Chains A and B, each alone.
Chain A
Amino acid sequence: ETGVTQSPTHLIKTRGQQVTLRCSSQSGHNTVSWYQQALGQGPQFIFQYYREEENGRGNFPPRFSGLQFPNYSSELNVNALELDDSALYLCASTMGGLDTGELFFGEGSRLTVL
């Protein structure tokens, strides 16, 4: 069984640039959610995708967007990067739509915005 994999593991961008983070869900999982974890904080929900459609969103501006593909892998895109976007971005997968409880996390992509 393949777990959740994320790429890249680390990246550095400058303010105003755009970034794309990628996630492959665990085998058999059709739901992917993204979380932002700032230093010293717990993960904060960005959005969730189920069967290629966004079906839940946290308090993040529209410049945070995503996609889910037919193989259930997913992308997180962030436009017009700001310094406060520096964080660890976690992807998690599970089965089912909204009624998720146990999430299987990847190791994260650490984004630094200069």
Chain B
Amino acid sequence: AQRVTQPEKLLSVFKGAPVELKCNYSYSGSPELFWYVQYSRQRLQLLLRHISRESIKGFTADLNKGETSFHLKKPFAQEEDSAMYYCALKMDTGRRALTFGSGTRLQVQP
């Protein structure tokens, strides 16, 4: 069965520091990977997906099939990046619903 692992429950950095939120997955096929974000008092929303290969709000994520990882990175953290981040996987066959990791809370301190 497919699985998404986010090893860190909490990541605390200072403003201007680099950020890397880790995401590892297990799935034998060719998945699509996503990062969803939930800001305080807002609903869960899509941040980026690997197939679009774009940078959103300064965040990037590269799918590494060899290491089965999809880490989220930003070179210089901003206070407004503080939020809950979820990595999610969609299988290439069968059930196409999203499988989410347990999430990482990012705290950016001033």
Question: Within residues 68 to 114 of chain A, which ones have a CB less than 8 A from any CB in chain B?
Answer: 90, 98-108
Min CB distance A23 to B, Å, is 13
Q: Are A45 and B43 in contact (CB under 8 A)?
A: no
B102 and A45 form a contact (CB under 8 A): no
* Interface residue? A44 (CB, 8 A): yes
Q: Which of B43, B96, B97, B103 contacts A42 (CB 8 A)?
A: B103
A84 to chain B, nearest CB (A): 17
Instruction: Give the shortest distance, in Å, between A108 (CB) and chain B (any CB).
Output: 8
A59 shortest CB reach to chain B, Å? 9
Interface footprint category on A: 20 to 34
CB distance from B101 to the nearest CB of A (A): 5
Q: With A90-B44, A99-B96, A101-B49 in contact, is A42–B90 under 8 Å at CB?
A: no
Looking at the complex, which one of B88, B95, B102 makes contact with A56 (CB distance below 8 Å)? B95
Q: Is the CB of A103 within 8 A of B96?
A: no
Given A101-B90, A102-B49, A43–B44 Cβ distance below 8 Å? yes
**B63-92 interface with A by 8 A CB criterion:** 86, 88, 90
Distance between B75 CB and nearest chain A CB, rounded to angstroms? 25
Residues of A within 8 A of B103 (CB): 41-42
Residues of B within 8 A of A33 (CB): 97
Q: Is the CB of B34 within 8 A of A43?
A: no
- Report the Cα distance A98→B91, complex, angstroms: 11
Q: Can you spell out 5 A-B residue pairs with CB atoms less than 8 angstroms apart?
A: A3-B43, A45-B99, A58-B95, A100-B90, A102-B46
Residues of A within 8 A of B (CB): 3-4, 33, 35, 40-45, 48, 56-58, 90, 98-108
